Structure 1
Amino acid sequence: MVGFMQKLNAPWWAEITTVKPSCVYYFGPFDTSAEAKEAYPGYVEDLDGEGAQGIVVVIKRCNPEVLTKCEE
């Protein structure tokens, strides 16, 4: 139950996963899901401009330990 309550109080983040390179990026924190949804297109545009492929966005509440995780 504690983990569930912590998740409810966690800030909103845009989790953006790319296939090439194989990475997960976290952008935030945001106070609301609406703020995250409004902001993420700019992040996607930047990643697309850098040549990233297979971009998937998920807006969620979490507390990421690292903001960028890439496979070598």
Structure 2
Amino acid sequence: MKEFVINQFNSLGLAFWVEIMTEIPRCTYYFGPFLTEDEAQEAEPGYIEDIEGEGAEGLHVAVKRCQPEYLTVAEDLGPNFDNPLKWA
């Protein structure tokens, strides 16, 4: 039932997402959706740990309501990058 509510919130742009932007490589990652801001903030440290473990540097983290089209935006790969991680 909770997943249904989260999906409804997400379809309306009301779900919360953890957005992590990195300077090296220049990427933006989205993790979610979450029903509440608190839930997103509780999950945030695990996502940061994973990205830092992959060698990313210069992280900027925000929890916000949004509706990302892609879960990963790799700016270093240019505009012709076919992103397989599109949010369904």
TM-score bracket relative to the smaller structure: 0.7 to 0.9
Secondary structure at the aligned position of 1:46 is classed as helix
TM-score by length of 2: 0.71
Deviations 1:8-32 (A, max 9, x none): xx10000000000100000000000
The aligned amino acid for 2:58 is G
Equivalent of 1:59 in 59, 63, 71: 63
Q: Which SS does the other structure have where 1:66 is aligned?
A: coil
Q: TM-score, normalised by structure 1?
A: 0.86
Q: Which runs of 5+ in 1 are unaligned?
A: 1-5
- How many residues end up aligned between the 2 structures? 65
Where in structure 1 do 4 or more consecutive aligned residues deviate above 3 Å? none
Aligned residue number for residue 27 of structure 1: 31
Per-residue deviation at 1:58? 0.5
Aligned equivalents of 1:38 and 1:56: distance in 2?
16
Q: Distance in 1 between matches of 2:60 and 2:21?
A: 5
Q: What's 1:46 paired with?
A: 50
Matched position secondary structure for 1:43: helix
Q: Which runs of 5+ in 2 are unaligned?
A: 1-11, 78-88
Q: Give me the CA root mean square deviation.
A: 0.9
Distance 2:21 2:15 in 1: 19
Aligned-partner residue type, residue 17 of structure 1: M
